Amino acid sequence: MQELLIGSLGTNIVGFVGRYPWQVFAVVLVTSLILIDLFRKSRSGPGSDLDVFDFGGDGDGGCGD
């Protein structure tokens, strides 16, 4: 069935995943996290990343005068 889907490449992929499951999982996880981060930054407007760290201060370095 796999050979009908992607030919002999499918059996090679299944064999590689069978030999190195944790490495494949790590590559998929890191790739998905990078893509999510890239898409999130491209959809956000200018300056919106700074709003995440808004601590309510007035920019005086925490003196509170």
Q: What is the pLDDT of residue 28?
A: 94
Confidence tier at 1 by pLDDT (50, 70, 90): low
**What span, in angstroms and rounded, lies between the C-alpha atoms of 30 and 25?**
9
Residues 29-40 have pLDDT tens digits of: 999 999 999 888
- Which of 63, 44, 60, 62 shows the shortest CA–CA distance to 52? 44
Residues 9-26 have pLDDT tens digits of: 878 888 999 999 999 999
User: pTM score, two decimals?
Assistant: 0.51
Q: Are 10 and 3 in contact (CB under 8 A)?
A: yes
